[in-house]
Amino acid sequence: MYEITDTHAHYDDEAFDSDRDALLLSLKDKGIGRVINVGASMRGCRDSYKLSEKYPFVYAALGVHPSETAELSEEDMEWILEKSRDPKVVAIGEIGLDYHFPDDPSPEHQKKWFARQIALAQQAGLPLVIHSRDAEKDTADVLSSEHAEKCGGVMHCYSYSKESTRDFLNLGLYFGIGGVLTFKNGRKLKEAVEYLPMDRILLETDCPYLAPEPYRGKRNCSLYLPNVVAVLSEIKKLPEEEVIRITTENAKRLFALGD
Ligand code: NI
């Protein structure tokens, strides 16, 4: 029996303060074999690292989300680089561009730190976890000008159209798919997923956010991933077991996860 890999979770979030340990310890018995906990702020990076030290099945991605880059410094980059030597640190992220709220911070500022953290990933020899919202063209431009194909990575919570997948496929990237795939208004994403090759798809929750149906609006966690697997299996016309096997193989390949 194959185990699900949740490639994007935020168990450091305060939404899990009341039951974090119990919940994480329950995952294995419910078929969730591995979790990558992703930092978004420097505090989130430190907490992700601590979780990866505490639990053998939790890995860490370290990086700073575009909306959290206002006070980012070179000392922070040094801290991430030093920790990235630890084999439990498997990616740099989430990093990227988010133009949803204009000038928060400015696009120029975001692009500077996106490029800086891609360089950091190349130095560390780790793949990228990319956050991109309402910034499709600039994201593709920065990724290609900074040669992101050298380190590879995943477009986390992929939300662009089928037509746009080509640029990101050409860069060798993977696509993180989660709860949004189960939403009734998720047609655009369903079309993109139909088009994507199965060997580029990863499962992710982005928990505590984006719980799949029928839990939409509630606190998300890795235990709801079978609901995403069910929809993916319908779209790809593959047995659920096969969806789990392939997505876990993909995650192990991209992030060099152990058995
Ligand atoms: Ni996230």
CA 132 – ligand 1 centroid, Å = 11
State the pLDDT at residue 159. Answer: 87
CA 169 – ligand 1 centroid, Å = 21
Q: Residue 125: helix, strand or coil by DSSP?
A: coil
Rounded alpha-carbon distances, angstroms, from residue 95 to 58, 62, 121, 251: 20, 9, 10, 18
CA 9 – ligand 1 centroid, Å = 7
State the pLDDT at residue 118. Answer: 98
Distance CA 211, CA 213 (A): 7
The tens-digit pLDDT sequence of the chain (259 residues) is 789 999 999 999 999 999 999 999 999 999 999 999 999 999 999 999 999 999 999 999 999 999 999 999 999 999 999 999 999 999 999 999 999 987 889 999 999 999 999 999 999 999 999 999 999 999 999 999 999 999 999 999 998 988 899 999 999 999 999 999 999 988 899 999 999 999 999 999 999 999 999 999 999 999 999 999 999 999 999 999 999 999 999 999 999 997 7
State the pLDDT at residue 139. Answer: 97
CA 123 – ligand 1 centroid, Å = 23
CA 94 – ligand 1 centroid, Å = 7
Polymer length of the chain? 259
Number of H helices, E strands in the chain: 9, 8
> Cα-atom radius of gyration of the chain, to the nearest Å?
17
CA 206 – ligand 1 centroid, Å = 5
Asked whether the CA dihedral 190, 179, 103, 153 is positive or negative, the reply is negative
CA 183 – ligand 1 centroid, Å = 18
CA 129 – ligand 1 centroid, Å = 9
CA 6 – ligand 1 centroid, Å = 12
State the pLDDT at residue 253. Answer: 97
Distance CA 173, CA 139 (A): 12
CA 242 – ligand 1 centroid, Å = 26
Question: Tokens at residue 59, please?
Answer: 């890995």
Class of domain 4-255: alpha beta
